[in-house]
Amino acid sequence: MPLTDVKIRQSKAADKVLKLTDSNGLYLEVKPNGSKLWRYRYKIAGKENLFAIGEYPAVSLQDARKARDDARDLVKQGVHPSHARQSSLTDQLVKNANTFEAVSREWLDRKKEKWTPYYHKQATSCLEQNAFPKIGRLPIRNVTAAHLLEILQAMERRGAETYALQLRQWCSAIFRHAVVTLRADGDPAAALKGAIQRPQVNHSKPMSAGQIGDFKARLTKYGGNRTTVIAMRLMLYTFVRTVELRKAPWAEFDIVAAEWKIPPERMKKRRLHVVPLARQAVAILEDLKRITGAGLWLFPNFRRPDDVMSATTINRALEHMGYASGLWTGHDFRATASTQLHEMGFRPEVIELQLAHVEENKTKAAYNHAEYMTERREMMQAWADWIDSIPERDTGSTLKLPEHEATSSPADPSDSGESAE
């Protein structure tokens, strides 16, 4: 006689295992410890087998019968239900390993050695905030251009066009990785090239001597945090990238030798970079050492001393000094140095080395590093002396970008990352 829920609930554990039979091979096994387990008995090739369905009441009588019927269909085909279940679990594990998020994180792991920590974090955060919530759980093979376009357009609507463009590039690289590892058939992100309108960018521009004089005057009058003032002065004299300055620890500096060595892991292109320090830069560092020299960082975060100055601190200071957002950025100091040093007659290859524009030939790069160091020291001192020769001249007005140059893109490209490739 088939089982009922009432009969199952009323069943009591005994000293021995009890078997309450239902029908077509299904029975409930009541153990001495009180647990109740569904079993299905079947035969294949004349040999009796048992298939464990689950525990009552987690698996109800109705569910157990359905599982039994599904198992019977497999048995009729000569397939053991337990083998089919294991195969199904394996398939699910494979699917889980091949989701868009899983493949993306695998790709991100492969990029850790090639990218700076800042850029790696930027890419990871962008994917986590925009892509994973929408398509992270989908098998990457099932992600379409329509899925990606919806994400990119949502970013565009909220004014994040620049990050939308980057996300498309990162997604394209992720799909190419999936293709070469046989987990995708193509790159749907490639079809979306041009789908997002690129914002008008305020490209790096050299400052004139008059503009530098205005900047120096405003910096002298600026009443903000002294370390921020020092950071901007040091950036002017060294023309390094903003992120290289913000995250600089004191351990990288040899003030006696007047030299700053930035290790490969902190550089955009993973090459050791040496910055000869002019007398003016050394004096600035000696002043700064009295303020932050007891800690790890040159420029610790105001609120979190164990962390470094935030990426927006310098740009906010420029705004407080009367410069409209995007008018000047840290990268413009580099453009100014490049232009002026060429005009001063220094060799282009020496200037490029000091700007950390990487020489592709590693052997030649090492040779150039040694050959040009004396000239680079002379060049950095000549640059600092030229800066000092410019008189301070505050125009006294708020300076703005021309309307056709206004941009919604990140204010300082020197503090961003590198190629998605």
Q: Verify that 67 and 121 share a domain, yes or no.
A: no
- Residue 301 is part of a domain; what is its CATH number? 1.10.443.10
Range of the domain at 116: 100-192
User: Contact, 40 vs 67, CB < 8 A?
Assistant: yes
Q: Is residue 414 part of a domain?
A: no
Do 72 and 90 share a domain, yes or no?
yes
pLDDT tens per residue across span 262-286: 998 888 777 888 999 999 999 999 9
For tokens 């560092």, what's the residue? 285
333 and 242 fall within a common domain = yes
Looking at the chain, the whole-number percentage of residues with pLDDT higher than 70 is: 85
**Within this chain, do residues 354 and 224 fall inside the same structural domain, yes or no?**
yes
- The pLDDT of residue 199: 63
126 and 242 fall within a common domain: no
Least confident of 20-29, 213-222, 293-302, 349-358: 349-358
Say if residue 236's pLDDT is above 60: yes
Q: Residues 340, 351: contact at Cβ < 8 Å?
A: no
Residues 265 and 339 occupy one common structural domain? yes
pLDDT band for 395, please (50, 70, 90 cuts).
low
Residues 304 and 377 in one domain: yes
Q: Which residues are catalytic?
A: 241, 268, 331, 334, 357, 367
Q: Mapping DSSP to helix (H, G, I), strand (E, B) and coil, where does residue 322 land? A: coil
Q: How far apart are CA 89 and CA 201, in angstroms?
A: 50
Mean pLDDT, range 230-238, rounded to an integer: 93
3-state secondary structure of 407: coil
According to the model, what pLDDT value does residue 276 have?
95
How open is the CA angle 322-325-328, to the nearest 5 degrees?
80
pLDDT band at 98 (very low <50, low <70, confident <90, very high): confident
Write the burial class of residue 174 (CB in 10 Å: 0-12 exposed, 13-18 middle, 19+ buried): buried
Strand partners, 414: none
What is the average pLDDT across 312-339?
Answer: 81
The pLDDT confidence band at residue 242, using thresholds 50, 70 and 90, is: confident
- Kindly state the tokens that stand for 109: 């792991």
Give the pLDDT confidence score for residue 162 in this predicted structure: 81
Backbone angles phi, psi at 237, to 5 degrees: -80, -25
The answer to whether the pTM exceeds 0.75 is: no
CB of 414 closer than 8 Å to CB of 329: yes
Instruction: Verify that 311 and 369 share a domain, yes or no.
Output: yes
- Calpha distance 240→232 (Å, rounded): 11
pLDDT of residue 326: 65
Please indicate, yes or no, if residue 134 is contained in any of the structural domains. Answer: yes
Q: How confident is the model at residue 420 (pLDDT cuts 50, 70, 90)?
A: low
What CATH number corresponds to the domain at position 117?
1.10.150.130
Domain assignment of residue 198, yes or no: no
Whether residue 267 sits in one domain with residue 357:
yes
User: With b meaning 16 or more CB within 10 Å and e meaning fewer, what string describes 134-154?
Assistant: ebbebbbbebebebbbebbee
> What is the C-alpha separation between 71 and 44, in angstroms, rounded?
12
**For residues 142-167, average pLDDT:** 90
Q: What is the mean pLDDT of the chain?
A: 84
Q: How confident is the model at residue 90 (pLDDT cuts 50, 70, 90)?
A: low
Of 142, 162, 192, the position where a domain reaches its end is 192
Tell me: pLDDT of 156 over 90: no
> Is the Cβ–Cβ distance between 214 and 323 less than 8 Å?
no
Among candidate residues 70, 95, 120, the one where a domain is terminated: 95
Q: Sign of the C-alpha dihedral, residues 117, 118, 123, 125?
A: positive
Share of the chain above pLDDT 90, in %: 42
Helix (H) or strand (E) holding 156: helix 145-157
Task: Kindly state the average pLDDT of the residues 181-194.
Answer: 91
**Residue 325 forms part of a structural domain:** yes
What do you get for the CA distance between the two ends of the chain, in Å?
A: 68
Contact partners, residue 151, CB within 8 Å, separation at least 6: 130, 131, 134, 135, 167
329 pLDDT above the threshold of 90: no
For the stretch 286-292, contacts whose Cβ atoms lie closer than 8 Å and that sit 24 or more positions apart, written own/partner, are 286/255, 287/230, 288/227, 288/230, 288/234, 289/250, 289/255, 291/226, 291/227, 291/230, 292/227, 292/250
Provide the CATH number for the domain around residue 42.
3.30.160.390
The least confident of 107-121, 231-245, 263-277, 326-340 is 326-340
Based on the fold, state whether residues 119 and 239 are members of the same structural domain.
no
Same domain, 114 and 245: no
Report which residue type is found at 149: L
Tell which residue, 105, 163, 172, 89, has the closest CA to residue 137: 105
Instruction: State the pLDDT at residue 414.
Output: 45
Mean local confidence (pLDDT), 357-380: 67
Q: What is the pLDDT of residue 389?
A: 94
Number of domains composing the chain: 3
